Amino acid sequence: MKKSLILVLLGIFFVTGCASTPKMPEQSEAIVINSAMEETRQKALDALIVNGFELQEQSEGYIQGKRPNKIGLFVGSGGEIIGIWLESVSDNKTRVLIRKKKTMMGYVGQKNWEKEIRKEILGVGEWE
């Protein structure tokens, strides 16, 4: 009975932990930066690197980074995945959307890096 309960709980843990799929945030969560698309893209790349993320995926309008997993006795920060969507609004304005994605462990022990990434991007340029 005890083994069955443990197996059921582990199964639920893994199924719910993997259930999250990456999706683009709502437009209302966007910030508009007063800089061209390429300049904003470089700020976003720099923001990920400064905060300890390794680049995983890049395309014209999307950047994804992941922080290395930490292994130890206690659950700690690590393994977080951040997606940054970029959209040119005009020659010198870019819309930026930032979203953290759940990993297998869900949100347990993971830090929400959206604020830090946003601050790093905005710290270099002006925004609306």
**38-51 average pLDDT score:** 95
- Calculate the alpha carbon distances from 68 to 77, 79, 103, 110, 121 in Å: 9, 5, 12, 12, 21
* Model confidence, pTM: 0.71
Task: List the chain domain ranges.
Answer: 2-122
Determine the Cα–Cα distance for residues 97 and 85; give it in Å rounded to an integer. Answer: 5
- Calculate the alpha carbon distances from 97 to 80, 86, 89 in Å: 17, 7, 13
Of 87 and 28, the one with more pLDDT: 87
Reply yes or no on whether the pLDDT at 8 is more than 80.
no
> What is the tens place of the pLDDT at every residue in 45-104?
999 999 999 999 999 899 999 988 777 666 566 788 999 999 999 999 999 999 988 666
The domain 2-122 is placed in CATH, from the list 3.30.310.80, 2.40.30.10, 3.40.50.2300, 3.10.129.10, at 3.30.310.80
Q: How many CB atoms lie within 10 A of CB 41?
A: 20
